[in-house]
Amino acid sequence: MNDTRTLRQPVVVDFASTAFARIKPVAVTAVTLSGAFWGPRFATNIEQTLPSQWDLLESTNRLNNFRRVVGEHDGPFEGLFFNDSDLYKWLEAASWVVARGPNALLEQRIDEGITLIERAQGEDGYIDTYFSVERKDERWTNLRDLHEMYVGGHLIQAAVAHHRATGQRRLLNIAIRFADMLCGRFGSASDGKIEAIDGHEEIEMALIELARETGQAKYLELARFFIKTRGQGLLKGGRFGDAYFQDDVPFDQMESLAGHAVRALYMACGITDLYLETGEEDLLPRLETLWDRLTAHRMYITGGVGSRHDGEAIGADFELPNAQAYTETCAAIGSMMWCHRMLAATGDARYADLFEWTLYNGMLPGWSLDGRGYYYVNPLEDDGGHGRQPWYYCACCPPNVARTIASLPGYVYGTDEHAIYVHLYAESDAQVPLGERVIGLRQRTRYPWDGAVEIQVDGEGEFALKLRVPGWFDSSASLTKAVDESGEAASTGAARTLPKVIVNGKPFDAKLDANGYLEIRRQWQEGDQVQLDLPMTVRVWQSHPKVPENRGRVALSRGPVLYCVERADMPGTDLDELYIDPADIEVEWQPEQLGGVVRLKAASQKRAIESSWGGALYLPLGANAHKGQSEPTTIIAIPYFAWHNRESGPMKVWLNYRGE
């Protein structure tokens, strides 16, 4: 490997040499986020989130679990059996940070973390501190439940990120030793190996990234083996059955993503990676069908996935309860990771649409504005009892947020041979390699609060700048692609309204390409100015009538941001008594509120419940003909991602509406 190359190209996922990627990534370090929205958040991740998480890794004995392997800590193993992965995700996050420039604190922590891992690794390459002292004999005896490969997968991802970010091989070598041991042990019985899979997917995408990073096909082959071996009931069910692990049916016969949400989505990431490397027939159509069905039947309007606390499961079609939504933060991240890979595989802007929507509305709610609180579960309605926590006994989500935010610059742009793709709108400065050239892109925008985007292009020659037309821009389109009754993606046929493009002060007749990007193909000059105008009007969403809780309700969004109401803005009000008038909504910029947000003010009626119901649970129709007083009032809505950052209190995304 050429360390210099990897040092120059720290990409989140490396599709650079994959034959089947239509859009390649731009390096994390090639883009600097700034502006009022992402600037402070990016800094908060570095200054608050990562240092405090390291302290928690220490104080919860996650680091001591490594020290006890070499006799430097006396107590028992503490916490959950897969807690090593929290350190690994933290290292991945911190690596993306130090790739951007010096950070003495994080560099020192990274070094300390790697040293702990290095010393705890066995001579055979094995590393999992739960099994490294008193449970040595239990290694590999319960792949279904005990996550050894899941933990190892996060080690590999951390190692690849660290190598890309710093050019250093120290952690990579640890991961290679571990992966080589896996390759020697697991695989086809005809090769004398053990045919087994891990209960929690993760190793698949990790091994494929390791193959990309090292050029060693054996890691891709092992990932392929794990993927092809899944779905045959090898794990033998357990409390939630084979579907929990996606082990009930082989991928090529899978009808819908189901079971444990994070596992299902991580599986989908690994299989998309497999397609990207091999171009294997049938994989991509199946992935597209599963994505279409997931987003048309089993996705919250937040982009979140996972309807059931029971088994942390995706749930059945249209099973989307609000207060009882599970929608784990890690599942939102899993969906974003999958979207990123599907975007690479197809070039289709709808994957970037959902990436963006889930970033703002699925993942960001899981992270408090101060950078030190997290949701594991993200309900769309709450009575006030659900607050963010500084950490969890099962703390998979906090460092997963950290690594996603730290690598976010790497998701903004993409390239193919002749074009630069603008996937995300965000104030930023970038140096984008395009063939032999490097094109400077200076993006200025108040997005997500305003859809006016100015991009200064600093480069010469002919190429296309491709601007994503966000899904939210089309005022009559469904949130995600519609799927017909057979489960196939339905064709809408309608012509899309296009936003205005101005180049150097003059209207430019940009065409929409087949993938949903506006193409500006021209001869560029240093300092060319592109203006894109994406007017943000308030969208009022309704749910498919088969979603039981959302009948007679609407949700509000503006631009890529979904809204909610919470009691902090309406003291003393029972949110269930509010009925919104969606025709009368005002938009207000509130610079002092919640770090600066656009909030919405909607006319509404307040209809007293208790005076008409008198405390009964079931009443004969008509028995409460006098429906209690109704009085005009105003609903204040704030971005859903910002909820519960002021005080505890009821919150709702879906609001009563009785005007149909």
The binding site for a second copy (CB under 8 A) comprises: 295-297, 299, 301, 308-310, 316, 319, 321-324, 381, 383, 475-480, 482-485, 490, 492, 539-549, 551-555, 576, 582, 609-610, 613-623, 657
Least CB distance to a second copy at residue 159 (A): 33
Angle made by CA atoms 268, 272, 285, in degrees to the nearest 5: 95
Query: How far, in whole angstroms, is CA 447 from its chain's centroid?
Result: 19
Angle between helix 50-59 and helix 104-120 axes, rounded to 10 deg: 40
In this complex, which beta carbon is closest to a second copy, that of residue 63 or of residue 325? 325
Closest Cα partner for 444 from 558, 512, 529?
529
The token pair that represents 500 in the structure block: 């205005």
Give 637's contacts (C-beta < 8 A, 6+ positions apart).
556, 563, 564, 565, 599, 600, 601, 602
Least CB distance to a second copy at residue 320 (A): 9
Least CB distance to a second copy at residue 642 (A): 21
Give 191's contacts (C-beta < 8 A, 6+ positions apart).
none
- Integer angstrom CA distances of residue 529 from 421, 432, 440, 446, 522: 16, 16, 12, 17, 13
Least CB distance to a second copy at residue 60 (A): 18
Closest Cα partner for 204 from 262, 258, 150?
150
Least CB distance to a second copy at residue 380 (A): 11
Angle made by CA atoms 367, 372, 374, in degrees to the nearest 5: 40
To the nearest 10°, report the CA torsion of 353, 346, 307, 13. -90
In this complex, which beta carbon is closest to a second copy, that of residue 104 or of residue 618? 618
In this complex, which beta carbon is closest to a second copy, that of residue 495 or of residue 621? 621
In this complex, which beta carbon is closest to a second copy, that of residue 156 or of residue 547? 547
Least CB distance to a second copy at residue 655 (A): 12
In this complex, which beta carbon is closest to a second copy, that of residue 3 or of residue 255? 255
Least CB distance to a second copy at residue 529 (A): 33
In this complex, which beta carbon is closest to a second copy, that of residue 372 or of residue 481? 481
Give the end-to-end CA distance of the chain in Å, rounded to a whole number: 63
Local structure of 72: helix, strand or coil: coil
CA distance 148 to 154: 10
Q: Within 10 A of 133 (CB to CB), how many other CB atoms are there?
A: 15
Give 5's contacts (C-beta < 8 A, 6+ positions apart).
none
CA distance 24 to 11: 10
Least CB distance to a second copy at residue 384 (A): 12
In this complex, which beta carbon is closest to a second copy, that of residue 55 or of residue 255? 255
Least CB distance to a second copy at residue 648 (A): 15
Least CB distance to a second copy at residue 602 (A): 13
Least CB distance to a second copy at residue 656 (A): 8
Give 103's contacts (C-beta < 8 A, 6+ positions apart).
46, 97
CA distance 317 to 487: 11
In this complex, which beta carbon is closest to a second copy, that of residue 24 or of residue 147? 147
Least CB distance to a second copy at residue 474 (A): 9
CA distance 79 to 82: 8
In this complex, which beta carbon is closest to a second copy, that of residue 234 or of residue 609? 609
Angle between helix 397-406 and helix 84-98 axes, rounded to 10 deg: 20
In this complex, which beta carbon is closest to a second copy, that of residue 19 or of residue 621? 621
Residue type, 289: T
